[in-house]
Structure 1
Amino acid sequence: MNRRKDMVANLRSKVNQMASAFNMSNFANRDSLLGPESKPDAMSRTVGLDNSGLVAEQDEDLEKLEETVVSTKHIALAVNEELDLQTRLIDDLDQHVDVSDSRLRVK
């Protein structure tokens, strides 16, 4: 019985750790996630472009940004779905532990 309680406590601890990792405001790992920033200077990219060239450049940048946002959305939805599943599993496990504990106390 104590082993199960320890397992539930361990799972809850892991859930709290995961939740705190998602809420972190430290972006020190940005380079490891996205790679180092190696964008050319905006001025050097636009030298010699007229208005239509600048608009085309901006359109390309917006398309890349849209792809990134859509990709991030899909990742966030998948992570949210997994967290919901894990929460339901932990709640179910907790309920089973309580039922087992009650049965053991009756005997």
Structure 2
Amino acid sequence: MASLCDSWIREQNETLKLSEEIDGMILERSSLAETSSYALRHASSMRRKITILATRVQTLKYLLAESQGKSISGKEMSRRKGTFENLRSKANQMASALDMLKFSNIDILLRPEKDDIMSRVIGLDNQGIVGLHRQVMKEHDEALDMLEETVMRVKHNALVMNEQIGLQTRLIDGLDHHVDVSDSGVRVIHIRA
């Protein structure tokens, strides 16, 4: 019983701490330029931490269900349920905010020009139009460079994940082999006994 109570308190404290950390990241996010590479890494880090927060909230739900019927006072059980509901609601709000950020980043990449090109061309002579064309091409090149950088980061992450999956597969295969060897040993002992 004491370990279940300790598990709840430990998990609750870790979840609250992570929630506060994400709150700080959300506040920091508002001060960043939306197209900077740091802002994209920051959003990725927030996404990862919100996923961890959701997992911790699920663990709290499990621990709450396990503590039902144990020797915990009704007042304490009510407090735990309230804490769980608040954390679950906060995690959902953070996930929703992150989805909004994700869509705003997509809008930044896909939005049409701020001004209609035709309205920018009106009143320009040939030299002005050529200058505007060069400026627009430069902006497009910069956007493509950002996109290339993002694609390279995604590729790098995919390669690292592939390597980790391969490692995990080898570890599981090794574990499976050890289980087979142990099972054979147990069968031999049972036959001899």
Same fold (TM over 0.5): yes
Q: How many residues align?
A: 79
Determine the C-alpha separation between the residues in 2 that align with 1:73 and 1:94: 31
C-alpha separation in 1, matches of 2:113 and 2:137:
18
- The residue type paired with residue 143 of structure 2 is T
In the alignment, the residues of structure 1 paired with residue 113 and residue 103 of structure 2 have an alpha-carbon distance, to the nearest angstrom, of 13
Task: Could you tell me which runs of 5 or more consecutive residues in structure 1 were left unpaired when the two chains were aligned.
Answer: 1-28
1:45 deviation in Å? 0.9
Distance change (3 Å), C-alpha of 1:40 and 1:33: same
Q: 1 or 2 for the larger relative contact order (CA 8 Å, sep ≥6)?
A: 1
- TM-score normalised according to structure 1 size: 0.66
Partners of 1:37 and 1:43 lie apart in 2 by 13
- Counterpart of 1:49 in 2: which secondary structure? coil
- In the alignment, which residue of structure 1 is the partner of 2:165? 90
Q: Which runs of 5+ in 2 are unaligned?
A: 1-101, 183-193
The structure richer in helix per residue is 2
The amino acid that maps onto 2:107 is L
Percent of pairs with identical residues: 22
1:74 to 149, 157, 166: 149
Structure 1 distance, partners of 2:171, 2:132, is 59
Q: Structure 1 residue 57 and structure 2 residue 125: aligned?
A: no
Q: Is the 8 A contact 1:31 1:37 kept in 2?
A: no
Residue matched to 1:34: 107
Distance 2:127 2:151 in 1: 36
Cα RMSD (Å):
1.8
Distance 2:149 2:135 in 1: 21
> Match of 1:72, as an amino acid?
L
- What do the CA deviations read for 1:58-100 (whole angstroms, capped 9, x no partner)? 0000000010111111111111001100111011101110111
